[in-house]
Amino acid sequence: MSPEARTGPSEGRAALIAAVASLTILGLTFGVSALMRGAGIGAGPTPIASRPAEPTSPADGPSAVDIAAGKTHFAEQCSSCHGDAGAGGYAPNLHKSPLDLARITAIIQKGVPGKMPAFASKLSPAAVSQTAAYVDSLRGH
């Protein structure tokens, strides 16, 4: 056997061990600093704290007032078919509707051909969204 053949593999193993060791140290360093950042200990930026507060203003979604107005529209325009408070009658129980707010809004505007009238000409756009918000609020109840 030549000397190269004897030293070659062990040098290779040493280099591999060194590489693994430095990778481990790197990993530990970054892992610890990431943990510290996550816990807010490090000097780095804390994205969670700097983010603006979650929007809670009613302008971002239907307010209780809108839903109450929608309930009035519903009683006047919809309950004859859908029952009081949408509990069902001639037309389906809306408490169990799988539709999302956008689909509910579209159905109120356009109706269901041959089954439900369109309300785009009977209710103002605001009244349509209030009624949709009310119907949406019924789900899970």
Interface ranges with ligand HEC (CB under 6 A): 74, 77-78, 80-82, 91-92, 94, 97, 99, 104, 107-108, 112, 115-117, 119, 131, 135
- C-alpha span between 112 and 117 (Å, rounded): 7
Looking at beta carbons only, is 42 or 92 nearer to ligand HEC?
92
Q: What angle do CA 78, 73, 138 make, to 5 degrees?
A: 70
Looking at beta carbons only, is 11 or 76 nearer to ligand HEC?
76
CB of 85 to ligand HEC, least distance (A): 12
Closest CA to 134 of 77, 71, 84: 71
Biggest distance spanned by C-alpha atoms of the chain: 99
CB of 63 to ligand HEC, least distance (A): 18
